[in-house]
Amino acid sequence: MSPASWPRLRPAWVEVDHGALAHNVRTLAAEVVPARLLAVVKADAYGHGAVPAARTALRAGASWLGVALVEEGLELRAAGISAPVLVLSEPHPAAADACAQQHLAVTVCTPTGVQAFGAAGRRAGAKVAVHLKVDTGMHRQGCAPEELPGLTKLALAEPGLEVEGLWSHFAVADEAAKKATTDAQLARYQDALAAAAEAGLAPRWRHLANSAGATLRDDARFDLVRAGIELYGLAPSPELEAEVSHLRPVLALRAAVSAVRTVEAGERVSYGHRWAAPARTRIATLPVGYADGVRRALSGRMRVVVAGRSVPQVGRVTMDQIMVDVDEVGVRVGEVATLLGDPARGEPGVGEWTDTLGTIDYEVTCGLSARLPRVHLQPDHVTPGPAGVAEEPRARG
């Protein structure tokens, strides 16, 4: 990428490979057939860009989109995306009219939610699609199993609602050692389906599996699978990295060298002078730092690829810049370096940061700040997956 094609004046950016994203969607959609795929694009598609990611996912075969916030759903609608969108937590009643007007499906797990969204549906003259959520052991949201029959009857009696789903969420599906917990959650969900049926509900969309659940438990796929981190070619947990090796990383973080200097042996670099040059050394500066999501805890513990070689980052990560030791590499100002990319090409993967930081892939990509522009690399053509259609599926209403 030349200076003329940098997305902004500062040469630091995130690249999003939509060919890789489409590949992952097609792959996951094929794996879960006959269930349909819900592509989770909350948190700006885990830092990848919600609207472009949603469009690619729909073209490649996703049937639904999932968001955490009503605002995220409204952003998709404002961009002209008409596919079914599910808000994955019960929204505040103040958001009910916006959901009804923009045909967002909502999670409901309380009588207050039934009343608020039912009233909004009646005001809008169009039923609000709701997915009831039951708590099977995550203990974050969802009605208690014993409350489900009453909630179901209340929702079915509300003329402003169309109850089309019943769902829950795995807590530890990504940890093989806790299989008994996942088994128990699956059993509770099956009991919830039976209780809902006794209360008069035969949901069109039954869904329990997240990325890890869908990968490891074909008995948990039901009608809809909510794929999140795996859409982006990343693992739900370190122990599942081998399970997702057929997927392709979607995101890369790149920056062009902004300065090169020579420091003498013993000279110290960056805040705190924690690193000293062991010999006369060439140091390159990259214009990216912890304000961009390159965490300060990575200081002196990460590598960068530049000129086809891996080089160590040295000194403390600063707010806007980092320094790397390029003594053994011929590097010039303007040369592009890769901080995150595809391990298959020798680039640092998100997993390297995850391991160093003791965190999860989700936090790394979600933490790449909005001041890093997203450069969307589009394939010439996206081949639809099993549920793919020439035009994106439309929301009911």
Catalytic positions are: 42, 271
CA–CA distance, 324 with 281 (Å, rounded to integer) = 10
Classify residue 127 by its DSSP letter.
Answer: P
Q: Distance of CA 162 to CAs 84, 103, 118, 119, 300, Å?
A: 14, 12, 9, 12, 55
Q: Distance of CA 174 to CAs 62, 215, 289, 373, Å?
A: 22, 9, 31, 31
Q: Where are the beta strands (DSSP E) in 215-258?
A: 224-227, 251-256
Alpha carbon 82 to its chain centroid, in Å, reads 20
- For the beta carbon of residue 119, count every other beta carbon within 10 angstroms: 18
β-pair type (322-325, 281-286): antiparallel
Q: Where are the beta strands (DSSP E) in the chain?
A: 12-17, 36-40, 64-67, 85-87, 105-108, 128-133, 161-167, 205-207, 224-227, 251-256, 259-263, 268-269, 275-276, 281-286, 303-306, 309-314, 322-325, 336-340, 374-377
Task: Give the dihedral of Cα atoms 261, 262, 265, 267; nearest 10 deg.
Answer: -30
Q: Distance of CA 358 to CAs 238, 347, 363, 364, Å?
A: 10, 20, 10, 11
